[in-house]
A = this chain, B = another copy of it.
Amino acid sequence: MHLDVQWIVGFVDGEGCFHVGINPHPEMTAGFQVLPEFTVVQHQRDVSVLHALKSHFGCGVVLQEPRGPDGLPGGGLDHLRDRIVPFFVKHPLKTSKNVDFHKFRDVVLLMGERVHLTSEGIGEIRRIAATMNRGRSR
């Protein structure tokens, strides 16, 4: 299945999610693990679309939860920084999801500078993450 670039932007405007998880993790220097995730969830019947997205970006994993919807996590930090983020910088989302994307991008770039390995960095990322998605003013 060929996916047009603008189809991808429209579909992600509808179905995509940019999320930054911050979880306690005793083995990390600052005590927390930062997990930026780009996900697209679809019902099993449309798993072919997720495989086409994975193929387009050259990264990601198509997951199948038991009896649940399938998801396409966007991959590790390198993939997010080198493939996902540049795509949505070049082809901007049209909904307010673009606001979340830019915060997501900020976190990914901070992580590239290893800022998340310090307590101050975790605090900064936490402040950004708190204003994303449901934390965003509506």
A positions within 8 Å CB-CB of B: 1, 3-15, 42-46, 49, 52, 94-96, 138
Contacts and interface: CB of A to CB of B under 8 A. Distances in A.
Contact of A10 (B13, B42, B138): B13
Contacts of A12: 10, 14
**Which one of A9, A44, A94 has the highest number of Cβ atoms from chain B below 10 Å of its Cβ?**
A94
Contact of A9 (B7, B15, B45, B94): B7
Number of identical monomers bound together in the oligomeric complex: 2
A contacts with B: majority SS: helix
Contact of A43 (B15, B49, B138): B138
A71 to B, nearest CB: 14
Nearest to A95: B46
14 contacts: A5-B6, A6-B7, A6-B10, A7-B94, A8-B10, A10-B11, A10-B13, A10-B14, A11-B11, A13-B14, A13-B49, A15-B15, A45-B138, A46-B95
A103 to B, nearest CB: 15
Contacts of A138: 43-45
